[in-house]
Amino acid sequence: VTCYGFIFKHYDFTTFWFITIGMSVLLDGKKVAKIIADRLQTAIKEKGLSLCLAIVQVGDRPESTAFINRKKKFGEQIGVEVRHMHYGESITTNELLEEINGLNQDAGVHGIIVQLPLPTHINKEKVINAIDPAKDADGLTAVNLRKLMENSKGVLPATSRGILSLLEYYKIPIEGKKVVVIGRSVLVGRSTAMLMVNKNATVTICHTHTPDLAKELELADIVVVAAGKKGLITSAHVHDKLTVIDVGINVSEDRTLIGDVLFDEVQEKVFAITPVPGGVGPMTVASLFENVFDAHVDILS
């Protein structure tokens, strides 16, 4: 149904409709993240909270600094202090563990994240698991990942939570649907697959040893692409009932950010798609702050 240049793409026209680009629904992470920001800002003000998120960075990777700056900006918007703990490459695992311990003890710090990747000489698992699970804003400690496995209440990995919130906002059903996740990292692929199972989807995880991605996608309702390989998903992989969540962040030849999906050709064929940038990225940042807020409110209650 076309109406004033927009196309309705939902069964329930009375309560909801989508703005579409070309032929598909644009899942606008920037817009939804702003809605979350407004909600958090109001709740923080109403409750009179003064929250602080500590971000631990080791080294000077420009991409990491750019991601941290986005988190600082979001924190500023909603009235949460972001404390940037910046260490040189020469810091040892033990020294970093002591720093994390200090943040755990600090009653003025409500959330902690370690900006990944860490330099290879640092024991990543040890450092992440040193974070107090109640302050684990990224949801990546073993305690919170186990809760995700058990489908019990814990802190969700921020990217997975962001993907879920985006699908929920656009009323894209998950229960009973077939979800294909491409990528099996703990940070994104595995965690998102487990969250989708918890939401009653039937889930397939694909990775570098999957022989035929197109075949796996034939019957999929939703695909979450988190491989970090530009051009991995083309129009040949997709169909008109598919929702495409592109998590990938890659740098194109002209130095702009692009995802794992060839957006221009794929968006013409699918039901819905996230852009890169402006899709999952802003949702991850928003979810991080939702995690800090929720964990703190839980402690208060």
| Cβ distance to ligand NAD smaller for residue 173 or 277 | 277
CA dihedral 137, 275, 59, 292 (to 10 degrees): -10
Shortest separation between residue 116's beta carbon and ligand NAD, angstroms: 8
Residue with Cβ nearer ligand NAD (79 or 228): 228
Q: How far is the CB of 5 from ligand NAD (least distance, A)?
A: 29
User: Which of 182, 270 has the CB closer to ligand NAD?
Assistant: 182
| Among 181, 185, 186, residue whose Cα is nearest residue 164 | 181
Tokens of 131: 């974070």
**Which one from 9, 28, 57, 71 is the annotated catalytic residue?**
71
Phi-psi sector, 295: left (phi>0), alpha (psi -120 to 50), beta: alpha
Q: Tell me how far, at minimum, the Cβ of 248 lies from ligand NAD, in Å.
A: 4
Number of Cβ within 10 Å of residue 209's Cβ equals 6
Under 8 Å between Cβ of 166 and 274: yes
Residues in 85-104 that interact with ligand NAD by CB under 6 A: none
Catalytic residue (one of 57, 135, 136, 138): 138
Cα–Cα–Cα angle for 180, 194, 145, rounded to 5 degrees: 145
The 8 Å CB, 24+ separation contacts for 143-152 are: 145/186, 145/191, 148/191, 148/194, 148/195, 148/198, 149/194, 151/198
User: Is residue 115 flagged as an active site residue?
Assistant: yes
Tokens describing residue 17 = 């409709």
Number of residues that bind ligand NAD (CB under 6 A): 24
Cβ proximity to ligand NAD, 65 vs 250, nearer residue: 250
Closest distance to ligand NAD from the beta carbon of 232 (Å): 6
Residue closer to ligand NAD by CB (options 99, 205) is 205
Closest to 75 measured CA to CA, from 261, 268, 293: 293
Nearer to ligand NAD, 182 or 266 (CB): 182
Span 199-228, contacts to ligand NAD by CB under 6 A:
206-208, 210, 226-228
**Residue 29 makes contact with ligand NAD by CB under 6 A:** no
> Measured from the CB of residue 38, what is the shortest distance to ligand NAD in angstroms?
20
Q: Within positions 224 to 283, which residues make up the interface with ligand NAD, using CB under 6 A?
A: 226-229, 232, 247-250, 280-281
60 part of the active site: no
Q: Which of 28, 115, 221, 260 is catalytic?
A: 115
Place of tokens 């040890």: 126
Query: What backbone torsions phi and psi does residue 202 show, to the nearest 5 degrees?
Result: -95, 120
Q: Which of residues 126-185 bind ligand NAD (CB under 6 A)?
A: 159, 182-185
Residues 59, 88 contacting (CB under 8 angstroms): yes
Name the DSSP letter for residue 98: H
Given the rule CB under 6 A, which residues bind ligand NAD? 159, 182-185, 187-189, 206-208, 210, 226-229, 232, 247-250, 280-281, 284
Residue positions annotated with a catalytic role: 71, 115, 138
